[in-house]
C-alpha cells in the first residue's frame, strides 16, 4: 500500500500554514492541508463580529519572516489579518496544498505501513507519513447551556458565526459574555442598538489600549527599511513579555508585577466610571493574570450610557421573548449575542479522535493520565505526529511566538531524522516524563498556583484543575529549547532497518 502524502496538516490557520511553510523549506512538497471551513485563515476567517481586531500589536502578531509594513493600525482590524493570511499563502505557494470544506473526523496510526490514515467526512480516507494537528485552541464555539435558550423566538448570533445580513439598528439586544470578544463587541453594538443588556458572569481586567493608525509615511519607511519594523516588533514583543508573561510566570519572585497590572486597571476603571456600584461590578475578584486580560478604550465608558445595562445576577433561563435572572428580573429582547467563547479542553484536546501506537487514544490518555506533551508538540506512542495545539504549547502572548518556536522544533527534528537516514520519530517516555515534571515544577511559581484564581473561570486551567495550557517559560527559553532539545529525546526508525 503506497502512502499518498508526505504530510497531512489539519487546519489552514496560521499554525497549519507555518507548519506547511516549514515542511516546504525542508523539501517536502507532497502536502495536504485540510480545513473544515471554506477558506484559509482559521480564527481570522471564522470571526467577523463588529469590533474585531488583534489585541497584540500587529508588528508582533505576524510571522517574523514575513513582516507586513502596511498594517493600518497598531492593533490591526480583523479583516487585515485575513488578508495577511491570504498573502502569506500566496507568497509561500501553499494554497495549492489546501482542501476546504473538508472535516477531518479521526486519524489512526497504521503500524504495518508506518503511516497515518486520516478519515474525512463524506470522502475516502487519506494516508500520510506525517500528521500535523493545527486545529487551534479557540476553534470550537461554546454555546451556553442555559435553560430554555432554544425556545428563544428572536435572533441568536454567536460571535464566531456573525450574520452580516442582520441589522442591529434600533434593536433590543443582550450580550452574554465579557471575555476579550465581549470587550471588543459590546462598545460597537451599543452604538447602534436601542437597548443593550450585558450579562456578566465574571468581570475581566481591562487596561488602556494605546492604539493609533499608522501614518502612511511610517508604512513606507517600514517597507523601505524592514529593519525599522523589526526593531518595532522586538520592542513590542519585549514589552508584552515583561508586562504579561514575566509577572504571570514568576509570580512567586515578582508578585509586584501583577499588583501593578491590577493597579493600572483599577485606576483606569476609576477614571472612566464614576458610579461606585457600577465600578464594583466591573472589578474582578481574582488575581490579574489568572485569566487573559485585555485592552480597550471604550469598554468601560459604554456601561455609563443610559441605554446600556450591566446585569450581574446569574441567568435563570431564556424564554421565547427574553432573559430572566435568578433574581427574577426579566428583559425582553430582539437579539441575543453570544460572546461565550470556546470549548477548549472538552472538545479540542484533541479536536479529532487520534489513535496512536498500540491503540492509544490521545483524548482518553490525556484524561485518564495528565494533560501533557513533550515541548508542547509530541506525545509518546504517537509516531510521526506533531500536535501544535497541545498542553504546554502556548508560549508568550502572541500566538506567532508559539508557531515560530514550533517551526524551529520541526526543523531540528526532521533535519536530525533525515541525517540519520530515518523516516519515523517518536518521543521517548523518559523525555516526556522529564518535560512534564519540569513544567509542573515551574507552574508552582506562577500566578496560577499562587494567585487567587478560583473565581476566574479561566480556560488556562484544564478539567483536572491544572494550568496546562501555557508553557511556563519565557519565550526565549521556548525558542532555545526548540533549537537545542536533545535529539535522543526522540527514537528514530529507519527504512533500511526494517
Ligand atoms: P472567553 O474569554 O472564554 O469569554 C467567554 C465569556 O462568556 C466569559 O465572560 C464567560 O464567563 C461567558 N460565558 C460563557 N458561558 C456562559 C454562560 N453559560 N453564562 C454566562 N456567561 C457565560 O471567550 P472570548 O471572549 O471569545 O475570548 C477567548 C480568547 O480569544 C481570548 O482570551 C483571547 O485569547 C482570544 N481573543 C482574542 C482577540 C484578539 O486578539 N483580537 C479577540 C477576542 C478573543 P466566565 O468567565 O464566567 O466563564
If asked whether residues 328 and 378 sit together in one domain, one would say no
If asked whether residues 107 and 63 sit together in one domain, one would say yes
Ligand 1, atom 28, lies closest to the CA of 341
Q: What pLDDT does 496 receive? A: 63
The last residue of one of the domains, among 338, 368, 401, is: 338
Residue 110: what are its φ and ψ, rounded to 5°? -100, 100
Q: What pLDDT does 247 receive? A: 85
Q: What pLDDT does 448 receive? A: 96
Mean per-residue pLDDT, 264-286: 97
Domain that holds residue 449: 5-140+344-493
188, three cell numbers: 460597537
Which of 52, 179, 285, 292 should be mutated for ligand 1, with most atoms under 8 A from CB?
179
Q: Is residue 221 part of a domain?
A: no
What one-character-per-residue DSSP string does 403-464 give? HHHHHHHHHHHHHHHHHTT--EEEE-HHHHHHHHHHHHHHHTTSHHHHS--TTS--TTB-TT
228, three cell numbers: 525599522
Is the preceding omega at residue 473 within 30 degrees of 0, hence cis?
no
- Beta strands at 5-10 and 126-133: parallel, antiparallel or unpaired: parallel
If asked whether residues 462 and 382 sit together in one domain, one would say yes
pLDDT in tens, 361-414: 999 999 999 999 999 999 999 999 999 999 999 988 789 999 999 999 999 999
Angle at CA 396, nearest 5°, toward 12 and 76?
60
User: Model's pTM, two decimal places?
Assistant: 0.95
**Cα gap 181→138, rounded to integer Å:** 12
Ligand 1, closest atom to CA 78? Answer: 41
**Cα gap 86→207, rounded to integer Å:** 31
Q: Could you tell me the distance, in angstroms and rounded to a whole number, from the CA of residue 236 to the centre of ligand 1? A: 24
Answer yes or no: is pLDDT of 497 > 70.
no
**Cα gap 275→315, rounded to integer Å:** 24
Tell me, letter by letter, the H, E, C secondary structure of 175-220.
EECCCHHHHHHHHHHHHHCCEEEEECCCCCCEECCCCCECCHHHHH
If asked whether residues 77 and 154 sit together in one domain, one would say no
Q: Could you tell me the distance, in angstroms and rounded to a whole number, from the CA of residue 98 to the centre of ligand 1? A: 30
Q: Could you tell me the distance, in angstroms and rounded to a whole number, from the CA of residue 411 to the centre of ligand 1? A: 34
Q: Which residue has the higher pLDDT, 90 or 494?
A: 90
Band of residue 423 on the pLDDT scale cut at 50, 70, 90: very high
Using only C-alpha atoms, the chain has a radius of gyration, in whole angstroms, of: 23
Band of residue 322 on the pLDDT scale cut at 50, 70, 90: very high
Residue 475's closest CA among 411, 409, 408, 397?
Answer: 397
Q: Is residue 212 part of a domain?
A: no
Please identify which residue in the block is written with the cell numbers 443593550: 196
Mean pLDDT of the chain: 95
Q: Could you tell me the distance, in angstroms and rounded to a whole number, from the CA of residue 174 to the centre of ligand 1? A: 15
> Count of H helices and E strands in the chain?
16, 20
Q: Is 4 helix (H, G, I), strand (E, B) or coil?
A: coil
Residue 184's closest CA among 155, 162, 215, 213?
Answer: 162
Q: Could you tell me the distance, in angstroms and rounded to a whole number, from the CA of residue 459 to the centre of ligand 1? A: 9
Which of 150, 209, 340 should be mutated for ligand 1, with most atoms under 8 A from CB?
340
- Beta strands at 424-427 and 126-133: parallel, antiparallel or unpaired: unpaired
If asked whether residues 43 and 118 sit together in one domain, one would say yes
Answer yes or no: is pLDDT of 286 > 90.
yes
Q: Could you tell me the distance, in angstroms and rounded to a whole number, from the CA of residue 348 to the centre of ligand 1? A: 16
pLDDT in tens, 123-162: 999 999 999 999 999 988 999 999 999 999 999 999 999 9
Band of residue 245 on the pLDDT scale cut at 50, 70, 90: confident
Mean per-residue pLDDT, 89-98: 98
Q: Is residue 69 part of a domain?
A: yes
Residue 246's closest CA among 268, 263, 261?
Answer: 261
Provide CB contacts within 8 A for 178, sequence distance 6+: 186, 198, 200, 201, 202, 203, 204, 339
Ligand 1, closest atom to CA 340? Answer: 7
Q: Is residue 422 part of a domain?
A: yes
Residue 487's closest CA among 392, 394, 373, 411?
Answer: 411
Q: Is residue 263 part of a domain?
A: no
Q: What pLDDT does 498 receive? A: 63
Residue 131's closest CA among 351, 383, 364?
Answer: 383
CATH of the domain at 295: 3.50.50.60
Q: How far is CA 210 from CA 78, 213, 234, 415, in A?
A: 17, 10, 17, 42
If asked whether residues 166 and 85 sit together in one domain, one would say no
Q: What pLDDT does 241 receive? A: 84
Q: Is residue 265 part of a domain?
A: no
Which of 62, 180, 183 should be mutated for ligand 1, with most atoms under 8 A from CB?
180
If asked whether residues 37 and 158 sit together in one domain, one would say no
Give the total number of structural domains in the chain: 2
Q: Provide the β-strand partners of residue 338.
A: 158, 176
Ligand 1, atom 17, lies closest to the CA of 144
Q: Is residue 247 part of a domain?
A: no
If asked whether residues 473 and 368 sit together in one domain, one would say yes
Q: Is residue 418 part of a domain?
A: yes
Pocket of ligand 1 (CB under 6 A): 53-55, 138, 144, 146, 176-182, 184, 199, 201-202, 292, 315, 339-341, 457, 459
pLDDT in tens, 341-355: 999 998 889 999 999
Q: Could you tell me the distance, in angstroms and rounded to a whole number, from the CA of residue 177 to the centre of ligand 1? A: 6
Ligand 1, closest atom to CA 291? Answer: 32
Ligand 1, atom 43, lies closest to the CA of 181
Answer yes or no: is pLDDT of 164 > 90.
yes
78, three cell numbers: 480583523
Which of 50, 175, 201, 286 should be mutated for ligand 1, with most atoms under 8 A from CB?
201
Residue 321: what are its φ and ψ, rounded to 5°? -115, -10
If asked whether residues 326 and 401 sit together in one domain, one would say no
If asked whether residues 316 and 437 sit together in one domain, one would say no
Ligand 1, atom 20, lies closest to the CA of 201
If asked whether residues 376 and 486 sit together in one domain, one would say yes
Mean per-residue pLDDT, 82-95: 98
Amino acid at each position: 500500500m503506497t502512502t499518498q502524502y508526505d504530510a497531512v496538516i489539519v487546519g489552514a490557520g496560521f499554525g497549519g500554514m507555518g507548519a506547511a511553510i516549514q515542511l516546504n523549506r525542508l523539501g517536502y512538497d507532497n502536502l495536504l492541508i485540510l480545513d473544515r471551513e471554506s477558506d484559509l485563515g482559521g480564527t481570522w476567517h471564522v470571526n467577523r463580529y463588529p469590533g474585531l481586531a488583534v489585541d497584540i500589536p500587529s508588528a508582533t502578531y505576524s510571522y517574523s519572516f514575513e513582516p507586513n509594513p502596511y498594517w493600518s493600525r497598531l492593533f490591526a482590524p480583523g479583516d487585515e489579518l485575513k488578508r495577511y493570511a491570504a498573502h502569506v499563502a500566496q507568497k509561500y505557494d501553499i494554497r495549492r496544498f489546501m482542501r476546504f470544506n473538508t472535516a477531518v473526523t479521526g486519524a489512526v496510526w497504521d503500524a504495518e505501513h508506518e503511516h497515518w490514515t486520516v478519515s474525512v467526512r463524506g470522502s475516502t480516507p487519506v494516508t500520510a507519513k506525517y500528521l500535523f494537528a493545527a486545529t487551534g485552541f479557540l476553534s470550537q464555539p461554546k454555546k451556553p447551556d442555559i435553560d430554555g435558550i432554544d425556545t428563544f423566538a428572536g435572533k441568536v448570533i454567536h460571535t464566531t458565526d456573525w450574520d452580516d445580513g442582520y441589522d442591529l439598528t434600533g434593536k433590543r439586544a443582550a450580550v452574554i459574555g465579557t471575555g476579550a470578544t465581549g470587550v471588543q463587541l459590546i462598545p460597537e453594538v451599543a452604538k447602534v442598538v436601542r437597548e443593550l443588556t450585558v450579562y456578566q458572569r465574571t468581570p475581566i481586567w481591562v487596561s488602556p489600549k494605546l492604539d493609533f493608525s499608522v501614518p502612511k509615511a511610517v508604512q513606507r519607511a517600514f517597507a523601505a527599511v524592514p529593519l525599522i519594523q523589526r526593531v518595532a516588533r522586538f520592542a513590542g514583543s519585549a514589552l508584552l513579555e515583561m508586562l504579561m508573561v514575566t509577572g504571570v510566570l514568576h509570580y512567586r519572585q515578582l508578585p509586584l508585577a501583577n499588583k501593578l497590572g491590577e493597579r493600572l486597571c483599577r485606576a483606569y476603571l476609576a477614571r472612566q466610571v464614576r458610579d461606585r456600584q457600577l465600578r464594583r461590578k466591573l472589578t474582578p475578584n481574582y488575581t490579574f493574570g489568572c485569566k487573559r486580560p485585555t485592552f480597550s478604550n471604550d469598554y468601560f465608558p459604554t456601561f455609563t450610557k443610559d441605554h446600556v445595562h450591566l446585569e450581574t445576577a446569574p441567568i435563570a433561563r431564556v424564554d421565547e421573548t427574553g432573559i430572566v435572572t435568578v433574581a427574577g428580573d426579566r428583559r425582553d429582547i430582539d437579539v441575543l449575542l453570544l460572546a461565550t467563547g470556546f470549548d477548549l479542553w472538552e472538545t479540542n484536546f484533541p479536536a479529532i479522535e487520534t489513535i496512536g501506537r498500540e491503540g492509544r487514544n490521545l483524548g482518553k490518555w490525556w484524561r485518564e493520565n495528565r494533560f501533557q506533551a513533550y515541548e508542547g508538540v509530541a506525545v509518546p506512542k504517537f509516531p510521526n505526529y506533531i500536535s501544535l495545539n497541545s498542553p504546554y504549547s502556548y508560549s508568550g502572548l502572541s500566538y506567532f511566538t508559539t508557531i515560530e518556536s514550533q517551526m524551529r522544533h520541526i526543523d531540528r527534528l526532521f533535519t536530525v531524522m533525515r541525517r540519520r537516514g530515518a523516516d519515523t520519530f517518536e518521543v521517548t517516555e523518559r523525555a516526556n516524563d522529564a518535560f512534564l515534571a519540569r513544567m509542573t515544577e515551574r507552574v508552582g511559581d506562577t500566578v496560577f498556583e499562587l494567585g487567587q484564581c478560583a473565581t476566574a473561570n479561566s480556560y488556562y486551567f484544564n478539567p483536572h484543575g491544572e494550568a496546562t495550557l501555557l508553557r511556563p517559560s519565557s519565550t526565549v527559553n521556548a525558542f532555545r529549547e526548540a533549537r537545542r532539545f536533545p535529539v535522543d529525546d526522540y527514537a528514530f526508525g529507519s527504512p533500511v532497518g526494517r
